[in-house]
Amino acid sequence: MLNKRYVNWMIVQYGWRVMHLDETDIKILKVLILDARLSSRQIAKQCGISIGTVLSRIKRMENEGVIRGYSALLDHEKLGYELTVISEMTVSKGRLLEVENEIARLPNVCCVYDVTGLIDAIIIAKFKNREELGKFTKRLLAIPFVERTNTHVVLTSIKEDFRLI
């Protein structure tokens, strides 16, 4: 367990902090993850708490950035995005964040991750066809400081769900 002084130093040093969630917060989040369209009254009933508690807890979690927004879960294949790819990327000359930020703005990109190991970043993207994928791959390689990429086409998605808790 980390001591409080070290955690406070990390908060000041890196500008991040972890919000501590109690059992009530977790219950609310579980309900929201399953259906964010529920009213505060419905959430309160499912969690066995008051509406005021639901409202104040959700507001606090929004203010702390735990809840960053609300959206619909889409079936990308039904929207025509039949290809999911995972691209490994190596970047030179210490320009990783600059390159990653540029890639994150590209329309088909779902995720951009800094990683440890032999590569610098992993990109997850979705495409409607091979032509879109080809253009994307050429665009990646044309970005200054991108040394190389290695792209994997996903054959079958066993699980793709970012809802934790």
The per-residue pLDDT of the chain, averaged, comes to 90
Cα–Cα distance list, 80 to 3, 19, 136 (Å)? 50, 38, 17
Which fold is adopted by the domain 77-153? Alpha-Beta Plaits (3.30.70)
Positive or negative torsion for Cα 85, 90, 91, 96: positive
For CA atoms 112, 164, 34, 31, the dihedral sign is negative
Q: Which residues pair with 83 in a beta bridge?
A: 127
Q: What is the DSSP letter of 18?
A: P
Q: How far is CA 77 from the centre of its chain?
A: 19
Distance CA 135, CA 156 (A): 23
Q: In terms of Cα–Cα distance, which of 22, 67, 66, 28 is closest to 48?
A: 28
Q: Under CATH, what is the fold of the domain 4-63?
A: Arc Repressor Mutant, subunit A (1.10.10)
Strand stretches in the chain, DSSP E: 83-91, 109-114, 121-127, 146-153
Question: What type of residue sits at position 71?
Answer: S
The answer to whether 164 and 25 have CB atoms below 8 angstroms apart is: no
When pLDDT is cut at 50, 70 and 90, the band that residue 11 belongs to is very low
Q: Which of 2-6, 22-26, 131-135, 150-154 has the lowest mean pLDDT?
A: 2-6
What pLDDT score does 165 carry?
A: 73
pTM: 0.79
135 touches 85 (CB < 8 A): no
- How confident is the model over 60-92, as pLDDT tens digits? 999 999 999 998 999 999 999 999 999 999 999
Domain boundaries, the chain: 4-63, 77-153
Q: Name the band, by pLDDT with cuts 50, 70 and 90, for residue 26.
A: very high
Give 90-134 pLDDT, tens digit per residue.
999 889 999 999 999 999 999 999 999 999 999 999 999 999 999
